[in-house]
Copies of this chain bind each other. A is one copy, B any other.
Amino acid sequence: MNKNLSGLILILFYLGVIKSKLFYIEVKYPLLNASSNQTKVIELPLWPAPKFIKDTSKGLLVLSQNSFKMTTNLPQSCDIMEENIKLYTNIFFLPKFELNPIISDTDVALNELSFEISDQFCPGYPNTSIDETYELSVKPGVSIIKANSVWGALRGLETFSQLTFINEDNKLSIKDSIEIKDSPRFSYRGILLDTARHYIPVPIIKKQLDAMSYNKFNVFHWHIVDDQSFAFESFKYPNLTQKGKYGDAHVYTQKDVKEIIDHARLRGIRVIPEFDSPGHVESFGRTFPQFITVCWVGGKPYQAIYSVHGKAEILNPTLEGIYPVLKEVLSEYKEVFQDEYIHLGMDEVYYDCWKSNPNISEWMAERNMTDYHQLEAYYSSKILQIAKDLNKKVTVWQDVYDNGVRPEKTTQIQIWKDEAIGFSKWSDYLNDITSNGYPVILSSPWYINFVSYGFQEWYKHYLVEPMANFTGDAEQAKLLRGGEACLWSEYVDGANIEARLWPRACPIAERLWSPSDINDPEEAKFRLDEQRCRLLRRGIPASPILNGYCGDYEYGMKKSVVFEPEFNYDWLKSENKVPNTNESLKLKLNRSLFLILIFIYHF
């Protein structure tokens, strides 16, 4: 090995915990900057990139599981900090890593990471106004994370963890002088998971929440029910679950939901459930068929015209009996889901079925309604009023707005349409909706269920600049609250969700967190590849994005941690660890005999 090469490998080594190496696709198609040792815009392998980095390091610090501790200035114990100290202790020192815990005479130790949290408060559930700002100072002895709130401390801890790596002595290390100041560009950074087209088991959802926190996402938009299934356990209307679920194993019990919300809370992630109506209610309609609009064709009811409408598909807003039921359903959501927001869907309400129904025509005529927008507005006002009565803030898909409905200005509008799928440009919608004073969540360019092939598929998600064609002023700009990567699950379930979601959601995480000028994919790809290796090292089987390799811990290798109990929940733990029945029987017999013998012996 020549000297340059060894030097180069050492540099590579210092760049992160991940000993990944990147290769070109073909000799005649190299990547620009063909391996990760090139000069980079962002020298440290952090994802998403922080706002400000100053690296004046001259050496390394060593962290040992025997001495390293994390401390806080909180006056009393706080479950969020305690849980994260436990989580990150695994990330740092998982037994399977078999790190060298010895701090030798020549090592400089980092023995403490101290959290200085200004508000000294252990919060409940994260909300829209959480403060995620933090400052991180890495230096010998005690490193410090300063934050206004526990939430900022968590973000700082994630950044700190990404700075650590395993050095050539197999010790956990970190560069010895780094200052980082960081805060998110957008306050709303979400991922939508759809558990209606396919059920995603609870342990898998929890793992996705872990991966979200590694990428500083802070909203889990839970598209929990839809036409295909109603997996939410309803106590108020048990039939909704009974008739709406796929199989018995395909239900989110209220206990499950609470567990997921708690799991998300500990990671600074809000859980916003969606109850989509008046469309997308087939599974709901299995319990309440009387509320579904019957579609007519040629004077006959229950007629489908594929692909215009089915036989009976959307709610019939003219039936007053529906609203008390919806109020019950939403109030049950309110009992279970803690977030101040609920998502009410309202996308893809196609009018043809409503138009075909004579009862609806009659009802509208009686009220001098001539336009079906009025009917949708009628429905919207009713359900928005229900949410308001329940003291819930609301997000809706943009269709409501597009159809001329103008809900209250607190209503958040989620943009999903785009010229790519036959509508206008998303930037036009963004300009229009914010000019009318509505807060907006952007999703159109980030429908990551649309998988495609090619040289760096993720570039297109990464290169989105939400404000590129923005025409409003600074005040109007503030109405763009953030964005959301949507993983609709027509072709996704537990078996492939991780390969689809990671690292494909990561570019969106950086776009939503990092300053807008961190936008060069040719630079970002090396950090992203390292982030994907990092995810592997935390048990997330993320897909590769470049040729090359991560290390001896890849999926399928003995050192893989993808199935370590520390990085999993329930399903692997409980079943794979059950002792062999014969063994446990022997154990019991052994113990019984033992007690009998003691008994005999004593007499």
B227 and A545 within 8 A (CB): no
Chain B CB within 10 Å — which of A24, A450, A548 has the most?
A548
A106 contacts chain B at the CB level, 8 A cutoff: no
Q: Which of B202, B491, B572 contacts A543 (CB 8 A)?
A: B491
Q: Identify the stretch in A126-134, A508-516, A590-598 within 8 Å (CB) of chain B at 4 or more residues.
A: A590-598
Could you mark each residue 215-232 of chain A with 1 if its beta carbon is under 8 Å from any beta carbon of chain B, else 0? 000000000000111000
In the complex, A396 Cα to B229 Cα: how many Å? 50
Given contacts A26-B227, A544-B198, contact A493 B554 (CB under 8 A): yes
Q: Which of B453, B571, B579 contacts A558 (CB 8 A)?
A: B571
A486 contacts chain B at the CB level, 8 A cutoff: no
Q: What are 18 A-B contacts defined by CB distance under 8 Å?
A: A26-B227, A28-B304, A28-B313, A201-B556, A204-B556, A246-B548, A452-B453, A457-B491, A495-B541, A496-B543, A558-B570, A558-B575, A587-B587, A590-B590, A594-B594, A594-B597, A597-B597, A601-B601
Given contacts A201-B555, A307-B28, A549-B198, contact A541 B496 (CB under 8 A): yes
A228 and B23 within 8 A (CB): yes
Task: Considering the complex, give the chain B residue whose CB is closest to the CB of A544.
Answer: B493
How far apart are A25's CB and chain B's nearest CB, in angstroms? 6
Residues of chain A in range 449-492 having any CB-CB distance to chain B below 8 Å? 449-453, 457, 490-492
A21 and B306 within 8 A (CB): no
Residue numbers in B under 8 Å from A24 (CB-CB): 227-228
Task: Considering the complex, give the chain B residue whose CB is closest to the CB of A597.
Answer: B597
Q: Which of B28, B499, B579 contacts A310 (CB 8 A)?
A: B28
Given contacts A591-B590, A597-B601, contact A203 B556 (CB under 8 A): yes
Residue numbers in B under 8 Å from A591 (CB-CB): 590
Task: Considering the complex, give the chain B residue whose CB is closest to the CB of A568.
Answer: B556
Q: Which of B204, B451, B576 contacts A555 (CB 8 A)?
A: B204
In the complex, A538 Cα to B292 Cα: how many Å? 41
Q: Which of B229, B557, B598 contacts A571 (CB 8 A)?
A: B557
A365 contacts chain B at the CB level, 8 A cutoff: no
Residue numbers in B under 8 Å from A583 (CB-CB): 579
Residues of chain A in range 1-60 having any CB-CB distance to chain B below 8 Å? 19, 21, 23-30
A363 contacts chain B at the CB level, 8 A cutoff: no
Tell me how many residues of A have a C-beta within 8 Å of chain B. Answer: 90
Q: Which of B96, B199, B452, B491 contacts A545 (CB 8 A)?
A: B491
A30 and B306 within 8 A (CB): yes
Residue numbers in B under 8 Å from A449 (CB-CB): 453
Residue numbers in B under 8 Å from A146 (CB-CB): none
Task: Considering the complex, give the chain B residue whose CB is closest to the CB of A456.
Answer: B491
In the complex, A554 Cα to B25 Cα: how many Å? 35
A552 contacts chain B at the CB level, 8 A cutoff: yes
Given contacts A200-B556, A544-B495, contact A551 B308 (CB under 8 A): no
A residues apposed to B, CB below 8 Å: 19, 21, 23-30, 96, 197-204, 227-229, 246-250, 282, 304, 306-310, 313, 350, 449-453, 457, 490-496, 498-500, 536, 541-545, 547-549, 551-552, 554-560, 562-563, 570-572, 574-577, 579, 583, 587, 590-591, 593-594, 597-598, 600-601
Given contacts A228-B23, A576-B576, contact A552 B249 (CB under 8 A): yes
Chain B CB within 10 Å — which of A554, A579, A587, A601 has the most?
A554
In the complex, A420 Cα to B397 Cα: how many Å? 37
Q: Which of B282, B493, B495, B587 contacts A27 (CB 8 A)?
A: B282
In the complex, A450 Cα to B307 Cα: how many Å? 28
In the complex, A203 Cα to B577 Cα: how many Å? 20
Residue numbers in B under 8 Å from A575 (CB-CB): 96, 558-559
Chain B CB within 10 Å — which of A350, A449, A556, A590 has the most?
A556
Residue numbers in B under 8 Å from A452 (CB-CB): 451-453
Residue numbers in B under 8 Å from A542 (CB-CB): 495
Residue numbers in B under 8 Å from A547 (CB-CB): 197-198, 228, 490
| For the complex of A and B, 4 pairs with smallest distance between CB atoms | A201-B556, A494-B556, A249-B552, A496-B499
Residue numbers in B under 8 Å from A197 (CB-CB): 23, 25, 547
In the complex, A495 Cα to B554 Cα: how many Å? 7
Q: Which of B25, B544, B558, B587 contacts A492 (CB 8 A)?
A: B544
A-B contacts besides A198-B544, A228-B548, 6 pairs, CB < 8 Å: A25-B490, A204-B556, A249-B552, A449-B453, A495-B554, A576-B576
B601 and A306 within 8 A (CB): no
A563 and B558 within 8 A (CB): no
In the complex, A562 Cα to B576 Cα: how many Å? 11
Q: Which of B249, B308, B495, B555 contacts A494 (CB 8 A)?
A: B555
Residue numbers in B under 8 Å from A23 (CB-CB): 197, 227-229
Given contacts A593-B594, A600-B601, contact A313 B27 (CB under 8 A): yes
Residue numbers in B under 8 Å from A246 (CB-CB): 21, 548-549
In the complex, A579 Cα to B30 Cα: how many Å? 47
How far apart are A514's CB and chain B's nearest CB, in angstroms? 24
In the complex, A170 Cα to B597 Cα: how many Å? 42
B543 and A563 within 8 A (CB): no
Residue numbers in B under 8 Å from A453 (CB-CB): 449-452, 491
Q: Which of B227, B228, B247 contacts A551 (CB 8 A)?
A: B247
